[in-house]
Amino acid sequence: MTHSLQADSGWRVWWQLTRPHTLTASFAPVFLGTMIALHYAVIDWILFLAMLVASLLIQAATNMFNEYYDFARGLDNENSIGIGGAIVRNGVKPKTVLALALVFYGVAAVIGIYICSQTSWWLLVVGAVAMGIGYFYTGGPYPIAYTPFGELFSGVVMGYLIVIIAFYIQTGVVTLEASMLAVPSTLLVAAIMLANNIRDIVGDEESGRKTLAILVKRPAAVNILMWFFILSYAWIVILIIVGMLTPWALLVLISVIKPIKVVQIFKRFTEPLKVMPAMKDTGKTNTFVAFLLGIGLLIDYLL
């Protein structure tokens, strides 16, 4: 057994349970939404931190629900790639994983109530929907992750919606500019989910899932992933050309080597373990694009 599939110990058990390579899907949109808001309002950094922590907790809890329900349905074993492994490799009781996920949701809900008290109580509805989608992504009788709509839901909720909420809690409004700047984040969070489904395509098909990658077959799925990347960068360039975005946003091109490597790896290898670097680089692409886009907006604001 390779080292990457060996059991963890101590704090690493719980850290791996959160699937840390996916947590950037929460951090990046919050940062981007806040940087967009710089041009509209004075930033409340306490609200920023509250939003960031709540988003990270919801993402981590969603990953734990995934771990729990995939184990409960018999989909995970000690050789499964891309899982936290707390249950099948480290001996953590399934109920403990589920309970921890619910605790994370509870803490996120309390933080959400604070955010609502400082902004708008309508966000309770939005937050509840987002948390519900996080749970039903792998929980419930008809998990979203088992359908062709996983990329759509994850992209809209974790990519678009988090950017907009992070922007709204600072400004009290939702603008066309904010919505347009959230598009790359939407596509790249969806790309994280698609990369995950491409990696797991054989096991998912055997388990009866009907993911987008399974329906269109692996070669087409890799091409769709490639177009997610292309459209993300092209969208930013187009916004610069039409004057909606500062030329400083071209900083995102520094990160373009990452998605190129992702596509190359997926086209060269099919074994889940060998494409893990592509999984990590997909998450990094999302982080780098949002971070560099946010930095570009920050530079434009300061100048």
In a domain, 47, yes or no: yes
Question: What integer pLDDT is reported at residue 26 of this predicted model?
Answer: 82
How much is the pLDDT for 18? 76
Domain membership of residue 2 (yes or no) is no
Containing structural domain, residue 153: 9-302
pLDDT in tens, the chain (303 residues): 344 455 555 667 777 777 777 787 788 899 999 999 999 999 999 999 999 999 999 988 988 898 888 888 776 655 555 555 677 766 788 898 899 999 999 999 999 999 999 999 999 999 999 999 989 988 888 899 889 999 999 999 989 999 999 999 999 999 999 999 999 999 999 999 999 999 989 888 888 889 999 999 999 999 999 999 999 999 999 999 999 999 999 999 999 999 999 999 999 999 988 999 998 899 999 999 999 999 999 999 998
Inside any domain, residue 276: yes
CA distances from 285 to 72, 177, 258, 281, 298 (A): 32, 22, 6, 6, 19
Number of domains in the chain: 1
- Any idea what the CATH number is for the domain that residue 57 is in? 1.10.600
Q: Where are the beta strands (DSSP E) in the chain?
A: none
Amino acid, single-letter form, for residue 76: D
Q: Flag whether 206 is in a domain.
A: yes
Q: Which of 155, 160, 164 is nearest to 189 (CA)?
A: 155
In a domain, 3, yes or no: no
DSSP annotation of 86 reads T
Q: pTM for the full model?
A: 0.88
In a domain, 1, yes or no: no
Q: Would you state the pLDDT for residue 139?
A: 86
Is 62 exposed, middle or buried, given 0-12, 13-18 or 19+ CB atoms closer than 10 A? buried
CA distance 180 to 245: 10
pLDDT the model gives residue 76: 62
Does residue 76 form part of some domain?
Answer: yes
pLDDT at 262: 97
